[in-house]
Amino acid sequence: MLYRLDASQVANGVKNREFSAEEYIHQILERIEVVEPKVNALVTVNSKGAVEQARALDKKIRDGEAAGPLAGVAVSIKDNISTKGIRTTCASKMLDGYVPPYDATVVKRLQDAGAIVIGKANLDEFAMGSTTEFSRNGPTRNPWDISRVPGGSSGGSAASVAALECAISLGSDTGGSVRCPASFCSVVGLKPTYGLVSRYGLISYANSLEQVGPVGRTVADVAATLAAMAGQDDNDHTTAPGKPSYLVSKMPLRVGLVKEFVEDADPKVSKIVYSAYDTLEKEGCRCAEASMPSVQYALASYYTIAMAEASSNLARYDNVRYGFDMSPDGYEWNSYFAKSRSNFGEEVKRRIITGSYVLSSGYYGKYYLKAQQVRSLLRRELKSLFTQFDVLIGPTMPILPFPIGEKVDDPLKMYLVDVDTVVANLAGIPAISVPAGFSNNNLPIGLQFMADEFSEQTMFDAAYTFESVAKVQRSPDL
């Protein structure tokens, strides 16, 4: 069953000609047919393109040409990341039928490394949400319990990796959208340091907060995917110079447990986090409690900034330059514009309206600037903590995966689930979610590691130290 293999096993097998990329891709496509009716993780399956890419790669290998580090590996791409010739919709009516004329830099780099795009993954409309319920394509379901949410907004990415429809996936993380579904689906998900990965071709939600991040079933696969796509890009001037590589190994480090994160979590979650703390201590890490008092302002600050940026970014969708054909009766600008934009979903509209409000004169200082001050405060607190600790740990999500429909009508309840993830986005630091265990009723719980800017290597070492002894990795019965 080749579809069960992790990315590193696929790349080795293909390169050593133990099996062909084409055989593997065929098995992946069959697997997708079997599980997709249950999980609804993919909005487009690139069957023909994937088989063609696999054949081309097999030929290259037969001809003795070098194959990349991700040779043959099936990858799903969140549907807000541009893929040349493959429909990219952001799960929104606004981008119905939109086929990008170019690849995002991250997609191109993964393909150059040998990865094969198997399909596009479901998400909350324009990546705004935490459950994948705000998708025009219907909700993705958690592979561990299909009556529950997979997390979001990159729910399709995490669910497709957990359900063995691909070995790795790309999501985007503005306030936790890679880590939340990784935690809920028991896979590994990373948000890189701001500026490590190109955003060129990622359809913007809130530019100052977001990064594209990899999802995989092991820390090593996530590190290899990050290495393949990270580094400077002339098309994104926020990228930092250099091209990193990572070697994942066990390392006794200084670990701080963020007190505020565990205190507010569901006891079933904190129990697992405390036992992870003990595991790390047994592995020789120097563990202690850490405190970040300004965490209490993080969520309000995040949603203020994210909505402000969203209101500006989404102004471009007027159904003139992008989007579906509404067959308008006449082109009077105001009514046409209003009619077009009424096609956004409720959550997106809510954010555009709230975002415009916090930026309006009279309220700008009270809300937007205040939120930016919190951001500076958090950064300062973290800088000082990272002189004492190599990594900070805590729960990725304060709660267990909940039933579909439970929070969908209550925006505040929905926003609250992001308390532990938004901190890393506000501060621009890297964070990773690693499977930490399961509740009594077999629901996944994730452990989050955060490190200082551009300290991905240290974070991988800490995450791997835990992963290699905790041995939580397994797959759901589907």
- Which residues have C-beta within 8 Å of that of residue 114, sequence separation ≥ 6? 11, 14, 57, 67, 68, 69, 70, 71, 72, 73
Stretch that binds ligand GLN, among 99-107, 122-130, 370-378, 436-444 (CB under 6 A): 122-130
Alpha helices (H) in 63-153, listed in sequence order = 105-112
CA 454 – CA 428 distance, rounded (Å): 9
Q: Is 130 in the site for ligand GLN (CB under 6 A)?
A: yes
Q: Closer to ligand GLN at the Cβ: 68 or 152?
A: 152
In the 8-state DSSP scheme, what is residue 338?
Answer: H
Minimum distance from residue 425 beta carbon to ligand GLN (Å)? 7
Q: Closer to ligand GLN at the Cβ: 328 or 405?
A: 405
Minimum distance from residue 310 beta carbon to ligand GLN (Å)? 8
CA 386 – CA 399 distance, rounded (Å): 27
CA 114 – CA 72 distance, rounded (Å): 6
Minimum distance from residue 309 beta carbon to ligand GLN (Å)? 10
- Residue from 418, 452, 453, 467 that binds ligand GLN (CB under 6 A)? 418
Catalytic residue selected from 92, 177, 183, 301? 177
Stretch that binds ligand GLN, among 128-136, 241-249, 262-270, 385-393 (CB under 6 A): 128-136
Q: Closer to ligand GLN at the Cβ: 175 or 323?
A: 175
CA 202 – CA 194 distance, rounded (Å): 14
CA 138 – CA 126 distance, rounded (Å): 14
* Count of residues of this chain found to bind ligand GLN when the rule CB under 6 A is applied: 14
Q: Is 184 in the site for ligand GLN (CB under 6 A)?
A: no
Q: Closer to ligand GLN at the Cβ: 35 or 417?
A: 417
Residue nearest ligand GLN, CB atom distance = 177
Radius of gyration of the chain (CA): 21
- Residue from 68, 176, 355, 428 that binds ligand GLN (CB under 6 A)? 176
Q: Closer to ligand GLN at the Cβ: 110 or 299?
A: 299
CA 424 – CA 427 distance, rounded (Å): 5
Q: Work out the burial of residue 387: count CB atoms within 10 Å of its CB; fewer than 13 is exposed, 13-18 middle, 19 or more buried.
A: exposed
Minimum distance from residue 46 beta carbon to ligand GLN (Å)? 23
Q: Closer to ligand GLN at the Cβ: 2 or 215?
A: 215
* C-beta separation of 148 from 397 below 8 A: no
Binding track over 190-229 against ligand GLN, x by CB under 6 A:
---------------x------------------------
* C-beta separation of 180 from 417 below 8 A: yes
Stretch that binds ligand GLN, among 1-9, 173-181, 318-326, 432-440 (CB under 6 A): 173-181
Q: Is 128 in the site for ligand GLN (CB under 6 A)?
A: yes
Catalytic residue selected from 8, 20, 130, 153? 153
Binding track over 34-73 against ligand GLN, x by CB under 6 A:
----------------------------------------
Binding track over 151-170 against ligand GLN, x by CB under 6 A:
--x-----------------
Q: Closer to ligand GLN at the Cβ: 220 or 348?
A: 348
- Which residues have C-beta within 8 Å of that of residue 117, sequence separation ≥ 6? 46, 49, 50, 53, 75, 76, 77, 83, 86, 107, 110, 111
Which phi and psi (to 5°) does residue 291 adopt? -130, 135
Minimum distance from residue 205 beta carbon to ligand GLN (Å)? 6
Q: Tell me, yes or no, if 78 is annotated catalytic.
A: yes
- Which residues have C-beta within 8 Å of that of residue 247, sequence separation ≥ 6? 457
Catalytic residue selected from 15, 78, 93, 407? 78
CA 29 – CA 50 distance, rounded (Å): 9
Q: Is 125 in the site for ligand GLN (CB under 6 A)?
A: no
CA 366 – CA 351 distance, rounded (Å): 18
End-to-end, the C-alpha distance of the chain in Å comes to 15
Minimum distance from residue 196 beta carbon to ligand GLN (Å)? 16
CA 12 – CA 301 distance, rounded (Å): 45
- Residue from 20, 122, 140, 177 that binds ligand GLN (CB under 6 A)? 177
Q: Is 174 in the site for ligand GLN (CB under 6 A)?
A: yes
Q: Closer to ligand GLN at the Cβ: 24 or 368?
A: 368
Q: Closer to ligand GLN at the Cβ: 174 or 225?
A: 174
Which phi and psi (to 5°) does residue 125 adopt? -50, 125
- Residue from 175, 192, 394, 395 that binds ligand GLN (CB under 6 A)? 175
Q: At what angle do helices 105-112 and 219-229 cross, to 10 degrees?
A: 110
Structure tokens at 141: 């379901």
Q: Is 90 in the site for ligand GLN (CB under 6 A)?
A: no
Which residues of the shown chain bind ligand GLN in the complex (CB under 6 A)? 127-130, 153, 172-177, 205, 306, 418
Active-site amino acid positions: 78, 153, 177
